[in-house]
Amino acid sequence: MNTLNIRKPELVYGPDRKPIWPTKEQYAAMSESELHAWDALVDVAQEREAEAYRSAAKQSRGAALRARLAGAPFGFIEDVANRTKGRQALLVAKHMFRQTTVCSSKTVGLVTAELERWGIDKEARNRAVASLAAAGFIKPDKSRGRKTLVTLLWQPTH
């Protein structure tokens, strides 16, 4: 019960599911009791975030790696950027590297729906696969009427 008629602030979440913090003006207009209530909400939000991080850390190392991997190692990206031309080859290479990690296999199929989200249609994908094959990053296996399978040939150099 709020017997003191103190306006209780609430965390507002944006489309990325992260809290939207008050502006400087809103923060300056808050009374001291509202500031304390806001600080308590911030503490709760930070604790939730920390708990989510701790629970993710409890997963097996492989599952946690697959859950967090959205790209590829910097060395791979650098090699692809230096030895191929165009944005599409780089995006297809990153997608392919991610698929090899998620599937735990060097040979994977490229997911057309994911590539189309990045604006890469079938023709652009085929050009990128040809470019990556010519550069020696992959070995494509094209069977007529089947999904193109690619085998990652790139090895990190330390």
Q: Report the percentage of the chain scoring pLDDT > 90.
A: 10
Query: Could you name the CATH architecture of 70-152?
Result: Orthogonal Bundle (1.10)
Q: What is the pLDDT of residues 85-144, one digit of tens each?
A: 888 898 899 888 888 888 888 999 888 888 888 888 889 998 999 999 999 999 998 777
For every residue of 89-128, DSSP letters joined together read: HHHHHHHHHHHHHHHTSSEEE--HHHHHHTT--HHHHHHH
- When pLDDT is cut at 50, 70 and 90, the band that residue 2 belongs to is very low
Whether 19 contacts 13, CB under 8 Å: yes
Tokens found for residue 4: 């003191």
Q: Among candidates 151, 52, 57, which has minimal Cα distance to 110? A: 151
What are the structure tokens assigned to 60, written together?
A: 């097996």
Reply yes or no on whether the pLDDT at 69 is more than 50.
Answer: no
pLDDT for res 132: 93
Q: Is the CB of residue 107 less than 8 Å from the CB of residue 143?
A: no
Cβ pair 143, 106 in contact under 8 A: no
pLDDT of residue 20: 63
